[in-house]
Chains A and B, each alone.
Chain A
Amino acid sequence: MAAADDTKGLVPMIPGWLKGLSVYTAVLALVAAGLIHILATLVVPRFAKASAFQRLSDSLPVNRMRILPPVDASNQPLPYLGPDVRLAICRYNVADSPVAVTVALPDSGWTLGLYTVWGDNFYVLPAQEGRAQSITLTLIPQGERSFSLLTLGGRTTQTSISQIEVPKPTGFAVIRAPMRGRAFTAEIEDALKRAGCEVKRG
């Protein structure tokens, strides 16, 4: 009797449009919703029409470092990019040969980030006290590191440490410098000019 009363009390809580839905259909619909949710979430990055890579690719030469001009309303290469940062970007392509990225990180707050074409930041190198201010990283395709070590016979440990395997042949190497005011513009540009990106022959 009590159970019947409880059921009576619950019925009004179910919206009218749901009353005609069978439990079986409801469960199936929820499972399908879950699958669609997962699929849509995973697919969005692949079909993003205005990813950072797409926005920047046309203006960046391959395997060359380019210093982007100061950010303002008339010159904003990426959304939500404020004027408090200066960027130098290399659109690397290691499909044919490794690419050497040389970077100067003179002050705290400076970083070098490596991104895939999907915007995944798979490697980041921050400036650190005591770290050499000028660093060279050799970007190589995935799986090439072991090949290099075999051919080199492991004799250049230092080189292998500076090698970075990139998950895809193309992507961005981004140097980010905090802009603490206009007075620092020349100093920051000088440091960014020391950065390089070039194909490593041989």
Chain B
Amino acid sequence: MIANVIMFLLIAIGGGLGSSWYMIERGSPLTTLAAGPWTAWTTAGRADADPYTRAHFIRRGMLPVSSALALTFEALSDSEGQRLHSSCEYAIEGEEPRVRFWSISVFNEHGTLIPNAAERYAYNSATLLRSPGGRLGVSLARTARPGNWLPTTGAGRISLVMTLEGDGTTAPAQDGWQPPTIRRVSCR
């Protein structure tokens, strides 16, 4: 009898709260769009957003721009599934999105910009230095790297956010475009 009560409470409370937390924090295929290590909440900032999406952004203290106008991807891990960490160096490589405006920013695990002497926190379609091949390439490292370098200093766990903006009236079209890969180069 006691075992049954304990099991009931474990399943009801643990399962109920745990599944709610997971759906709010990480989302599911019903609420998010996944591409490699990147995840985007498909109804972010919209009046018809589902309860998980609403709770996700309110809990994080964000005012998301409507996903009807922009798509925001977040990556917490590299393309191999390892958690992004400032003790490692990463190469972000891929095809540049064919949108009117895009940006890529690095944050610590609390969503705070990482202080650094270069005062560099992001690149966007206007500030990125292009290679001759025209591909997107950004380095994520503690110390300076040639080209597009985003400093991570000693932030610990980090996250990357990439925002694509359409023409201002419609959501950015994907057209088969995939977010860039995040390759771990080395770790200390």
Would you call A61 an interface residue if the criterion is a C-beta within 8 Å of the partner chain's C-beta atoms?
no
Complex CA–CA separation, A141 to B140 (angstroms): 48
- Interface SS, B side: mixed
Would you call B12 an interface residue if the criterion is a C-beta within 8 Å of the partner chain's C-beta atoms?
yes
Minimum Cβ distance to chain B for residue A162 (Å): 19
- Contact: B61 with A52, CB < 8 Å? yes
Complex CA–CA separation, A45 to B165 (angstroms): 27
- Chain B residues whose C-beta falls within 8 Å of the C-beta of A72 in the assembled complex: 113, 119, 121
Residues of chain B in range 27-48 having any CB-CB distance to chain A below 8 Å: 45-47
Residues of chain B in range 46-71 having any CB-CB distance to chain A below 8 Å: 46-47, 49, 51-52, 54-55, 57-66, 68-69
Which stretch in B17-25, B81-89, B141-149, B178-186 binds the other chain? Answer: B17-25
Complex CA–CA separation, A29 to B110 (angstroms): 34
- Contact: B69 with A124, CB < 8 Å? yes
By size class, the interface of chain A is 35 or more
- Chain A residues whose C-beta falls within 8 Å of the C-beta of B101 in the assembled complex: 109, 178, 180
Minimum Cβ distance to chain A for residue B63 (Å): 5
- Chain B residues whose C-beta falls within 8 Å of the C-beta of A127 in the assembled complex: 168
Which stretch in A2-10, A20-28, A96-104, A192-200 binds the other chain? Answer: A20-28
Q: When the two chains form the complex, which single residue of B11, B15, B62, B124 contacts A180, counting CB atoms closer than 8 Å?
A: B124
- Chain B residues whose C-beta falls within 8 Å of the C-beta of A34 in the assembled complex: 16
Q: When the two chains form the complex, which single residue of B7, B23, B161 contacts A25, counting CB atoms closer than 8 Å?
A: B7
Residue of B nearest to A42 (CB): B51
Minimum Cβ distance to chain A for residue B3 (Å): 5
Would you call B138 an interface residue if the criterion is a C-beta within 8 Å of the partner chain's C-beta atoms?
no
- Contact: A108 with B168, CB < 8 Å? yes
Would you call A132 an interface residue if the criterion is a C-beta within 8 Å of the partner chain's C-beta atoms?
no
Minimum Cβ distance to chain A for residue B17 (Å): 6
- Contact: A36 with B8, CB < 8 Å? no
Would you call A41 an interface residue if the criterion is a C-beta within 8 Å of the partner chain's C-beta atoms?
yes
- Contact: A41 with B23, CB < 8 Å? yes
Q: When the two chains form the complex, which single residue of B13, B58, B74, B161 contacts A51, counting CB atoms closer than 8 Å?
A: B58
- Contact: A29 with B45, CB < 8 Å? no
Would you call A202 an interface residue if the criterion is a C-beta within 8 Å of the partner chain's C-beta atoms?
no
Minimum Cβ distance to chain B for residue A26 (Å): 7
> A72-B121, A128-B169 are contacts. A36–B61 as well, Cβ < 8 Å?
no
- Chain B residues whose C-beta falls within 8 Å of the C-beta of A128 in the assembled complex: 168-169
- Chain A residues whose C-beta falls within 8 Å of the C-beta of B57 in the assembled complex: 119
> A73-B114, A120-B49, A121-B66 are contacts. A22–B4 as well, Cβ < 8 Å?
yes
> A37-B16, A126-B69, A181-B127 are contacts. A29–B7 as well, Cβ < 8 Å?
yes
- Contact: B100 with A80, CB < 8 Å? no
Complex CA–CA separation, A120 to B51 (angstroms): 11
- Contact: B113 with A40, CB < 8 Å? no
- Contact: A78 with B61, CB < 8 Å? yes
- Chain A residues whose C-beta falls within 8 Å of the C-beta of B10 in the assembled complex: 29
- Chain B residues whose C-beta falls within 8 Å of the C-beta of A113 in the assembled complex: 45, 63, 65-66
Complex CA–CA separation, A193 to B83 (angstroms): 42
Given contacts A30-B11, A33-B12, A109-B168, 15 further A-B contacts (CB under 8 A): A21-B3, A26-B11, A33-B19, A50-B61, A76-B112, A78-B62, A79-B107, A84-B163, A109-B101, A109-B165, A110-B168, A111-B66, A119-B63, A126-B169, A181-B124
B interface, CB within 8 angstroms of A: 3-4, 7-8, 10-13, 15-17, 19-21, 23-24, 45-47, 49, 51-52, 54-55, 57-66, 68-69, 74, 100-101, 103, 105, 107, 110-116, 119, 121-122, 124-127, 161, 163, 165, 167-169
